[in-house]
Structures are given as structure tokens and as C-alpha cells.
């Protein structure tokens, strides 16, 4: 692997407010490789924004080191700090455009701050707006643009001084689904064509799935899990990552459907979508006196790699104790052959007793 472009080494950030201290980031170490799209996910309050702000020292770590391109920048001040910030663009959830000047003036402002001479700024503004597909909007005011267009302007502005790194904090969280997809496509293009390394924070897994090469999951200021996006979400090891993945990948079985099912046990299985799954089901059905019925299935792609989710009903082919034991054994066997295994129901005397958890319930009612 190449030398990392961003290296966070045991970074901590503690806020003091009155007599209270908040450990917003605790001993985080991670590396971002040049040219990759690295994501940070986690629930609200996990410390994501604070962590990403340490990269350009908008937040100075109270412990640890920030290394950019091999240089320890943790203690930079003054002109050197300004130079560093020029090489790192920042995009926010709320766009943060200046409202009382035109789109072109917003970009011009950033160019001026970056020391670009007046005679070059006009052409460069034009070039940046063309890059984000807003070549016609230089004279418009931000308030006359849609949310997606405003975010494009803010991306153009972040790129004004030719940064090598782009930090995005919930940059799509205020946008609808189609607009989010457009912004993600733009960011992918910027990453590929300009070779800009992107660090993107989000609580939206559908964004993580589409955009990130690698991902770190944060909770209570710590990174609890990191790896390729596929590995982290196809085979999460930490409970919080499992909960995030479940929210996203979990299959909703309509409650109305359940009473009509014959007796049996309802199981949600997760498996690598590129592995053949049919043989697993038939092997389990052959080796144990059970029938396995597939009720529902989905495939989600992480980059180009598929993760499958199936809901199956496993029923005994013989009555009584023997049948129940065969089902138990079959489920153990099945659980050992898949990435994820979750029981959605338990068997009761009258058929299926519901043990649908909160997540499923939310999805069913949504
Ligand atoms: N400037 C600040 N002063 C005091 N506490 C802060 C400050 N910024 C963030 N926090 C606290 O740090 C924790 C992490 O916040 P944040 O980094 O914004 O999380 P996230 O972006 O994952 O939602 C939260 O408990 C938050 O209230
Ligand atoms: Mg945040």
C-alpha cells in the first residue's frame, strides 16, 4: 500500500463546558490512502464531525497526532495552518453559502482567500461551475437554487484552491433521494478524474453503500470497526454495526402475512451474494428432516459486491419432538454456513409466536 495521505494517530478530543467534560473522540487511529473514498458512519453524537474536523485542525486534538502526507501538522499555526487548510476542501450538510452575494461571488471569495490573482479568478470560477454542471448560474443568488444545486456550488467552492483532500460532513443528509444520487455521482467523478481523496461522514447507510471504498464505524467517540465497506456491513462484528446493517439490509415481513404461515421457524439469513446459495439450502434440507421455504429475498450491492438477504421458513417433515429436534439441528447447521443469522419468530403451540424486534416493526409500519 502507498503511504497514507491522512494518518490519525491515537487522536482524542475532549471538550470542557463549565465543569463538564465531553470525550467527543477517544484514541482514534486510522489511515486514509491517497485516491480512496473513506467513510465514517455512526449514529448521531458518535463523534464523527469532531473527528473529521481534526483533519484540517478546525478542531485541535487534545491528544494524539494528525499527519497529512507524512507531515505532522498537529501543532501548525499561522501561515502554515492556512496553507494546510487550502489543501483540504470542506463540504457541509447545510451548504454554508453566503446568501447575499451571487454564486460566482461565493466562488470568487474562496479564490481570493486562496490568493488567486484577480485576472485568473473569473476564468477559474467559470471552470469550477462548469465542473459541477452549473456553468449558467454564476449570476444567480443561492436562494434561487435548489438544495442539490446549492450543494454543487459548495462543492465547487471547496475545490477552488485545488485541494488534494475533500472532507464532507453529512453532505447529502439534507437532500432527497434523487438529488443525493446526483451529488454522489459528482463526488465519484471528482474522486476519479481529479484524483481527490474524499473523507465522507454520514449516518445514511445507503450513501455508505454507494460511495465508500472503506469505512470506519464510530460510537461514543471510538472507532469500533473498520474495513472495506462490503466486509464491514456484510459481516459486522460489533453490535452497533450489526444494528446499522440490520436497519439497512433487514427485510420486512408484513405482520399480516405471519399468521397465515404454517408452523415453522422464520429465519433471516445474510450471505455473500457472489457465493452460490442454492446448494446450502438443499444440503441443509437433505441432511435434516426439514423443509426450507424461501419467502423473500433481496440483494444489495456494496460497490460491485453483492450481499444477499433471505427470509426462510424452516419446518419439520415429521411431527412432535423428533421434528422439533430436526429443526433445531438444521438451524444450527444453517447458521454455521451463512454470514448472518437472525430468528424472526419462535415456535409456539398455535403456530408462529411473534418475536419481531423493534427494527422490523418500524419497517413494517413505515
Ligand atoms: N464544541 C463543542 N463543545 C462541547 N461539546 C461538543 C462540541 N462539539 C461536539 N460536542 C459533543 O461531542 C459529541 C460528539 O459530537 P459530534 O462530533 O458532533 O458527533 P456526530 O457528528 O457523530 O453527531 C457530542 O456529545 C456533542 O454534544
Ligand atoms: Mg455530525
Highest mean pLDDT among 51-65, 248-262, 306-320, 346-360: 51-65
Within a domain: 244:
no
Q: Do 184 and 215 form a contact (C-beta atoms < 8 A)?
A: no
Q: At what angle do helices 358-365 and 239-249 cross, to 10 degrees?
A: 20
Q: Do 225 and 232 form a contact (C-beta atoms < 8 A)?
A: yes
Pocket test for ligand 1, best of 47, 49, 58 (most atoms within 8 A of CB): 47
Percentage of residues of the chain with pLDDT beyond 90? 63
Average the pLDDT over each of 131-145, 218-232, 315-329 and give the range with the smallest value: 315-329
Q: How much distance in Å is there from the Cα of 47 to the middle of ligand 1?
A: 6
**Which residues does ligand 1 sit against, CB inside 6 Å?**
15, 17, 22, 24, 42, 44-50
pLDDT tens digit string along 39-60?
999 988 999 999 999 999 999 9
At 335, which CATH number?
Answer: 3.30.70.260
- Atom of ligand 1 at shortest distance to CA of 42? 22
Predicted local confidence at residue 252, as pLDDT: 63
Report d(CA 349, CA 336) in Å as an integer: 27
Q: Say yes or no: 180 and 264 in one domain.
A: no
Torsion of CA 101, 104, 105, 109, to 10 degrees: 140
Q: How many domains does the chain have?
A: 2
Helix and strand element counts for the chain (H, E): 12, 16
- Going from the C-alpha of 129 to that of each of 106, 112, 166, the distances in angstroms are 11, 16, 17
Residue with cell 452497533: 240
pLDDT tens digit string along 112-145?
999 999 999 999 999 999 999 999 999 999 999 9
What is the pLDDT confidence band of residue 17, given thresholds at 50, 70 and 90?
A: confident
Q: Say yes or no: 258 and 219 in one domain.
A: no
Predicted local confidence at residue 202, as pLDDT: 93
Q: What is the mean pLDDT of the chain?
A: 88
What is the span of the domain harbouring residue 61?
Answer: 6-239
Q: Say yes or no: 276 and 203 in one domain.
A: no
At 80, which CATH number?
Answer: 3.40.50.300
Amino acid at each position: 500500500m502507498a503511504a497514507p495521505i491522512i494518518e490519525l494517530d491515537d487522536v482524542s478530543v475532549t471538550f470542557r463546558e463549565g465543569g463538564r467534560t465531553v470525550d467527543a473522540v477517544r484514541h482514534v487511529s486510522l489511515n486514509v490512502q491517497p485516491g480512496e473514498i473513506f467513510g465514517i458512519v455512526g449514529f448521531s453524537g458518535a463523534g464523527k464531525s469532531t473527528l473529521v474536523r481534526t483533519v484540517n485542525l478546525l478542531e485541535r486534538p487534545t491528544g494524539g497526532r494528525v499527519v497529512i502526507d507524512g507531515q505532522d501538522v498537529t501543532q501548525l499555526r499561522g501561515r502554515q495552518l492556512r496553507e494546510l487548510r487550502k489543501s483540504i476542501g470542506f463540504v457541509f450538510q447545510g451548504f454554508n453559502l453566503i446568501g447575499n452575494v451571487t454564486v460566482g461571488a461565493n466562488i470568487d471569495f474562496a479564490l481570493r482567500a486562496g490568493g488567486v490573482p484577480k485576472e485568473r479568478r473569473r476564468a477559474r470560477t467559470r471552470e469550477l461551475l462548469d465542473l459541477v454542471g452549473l456553468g449558467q448560474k454564476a449570476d444567480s443568488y443561492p436562494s434561487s437554487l435548489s438544495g442539490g444545486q446549492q450543494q454543487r456550488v459548495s462543492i465547487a467552492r471547496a475545490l477552488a484552491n485545488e485541494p488534494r483532500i475533500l472532507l464532507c460532513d453529512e453532505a447529502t443528509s439534507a437532500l432527497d433521494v434523487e438529488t443525493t444520487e446526483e451529488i454522489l455521482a459528482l463526488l465519484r467523478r471528482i474522486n476519479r478524474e481529479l484524483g481527490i481523496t474524499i473523507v465522507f461522514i454520514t449516518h445514511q447507510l445507503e450513501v455508505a453503500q454507494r460511495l465508500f471504498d472503506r469505512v470506519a464505524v464510530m460510537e461514543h467517540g471510538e472507532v469500533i470497526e473498520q474495513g472495506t465497506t462490503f466486509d464491514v456491513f456484510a459481516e459486522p462484528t460489533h453490535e452497533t454495526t450489526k444494528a446499522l446493517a440490520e436497519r439497512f439490509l433487514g427485510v420486512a415481513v408484513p405482520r399480516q402475512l405471519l399468521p397465515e404461515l404454517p408452523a415453522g421457524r422464520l429465519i433471516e439469513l445474510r450471505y455473500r451474494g457472489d457465493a452460490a446459495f442454492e446448494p446450502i439450502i438443499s444440503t441443509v434440507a437433505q441432511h435434516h428432516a426439514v423443509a426450507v421455504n424461501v419467502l423473500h429475498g433481496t440483494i444489495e450491492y456494496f460497490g460491485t459486491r453483492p450481499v444477499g438477504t433471505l427470509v426462510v421458513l424452516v419446518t419439520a417433515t415429521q411431527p412432535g419432538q423428533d421434528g422439533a429436534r430436526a429443526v433445531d439441528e438444521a438451524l444450527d447447521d444453517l447458521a454455521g454456513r451463512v454470514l448472518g443469522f437472525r430468528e424472526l419468530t419462535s415456535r409456539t403451540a398455535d403456530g408462529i409466536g411473534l418475536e419481531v424486534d423493534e427494527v422490523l416493526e418500524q419497517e413494517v409500519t413505515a
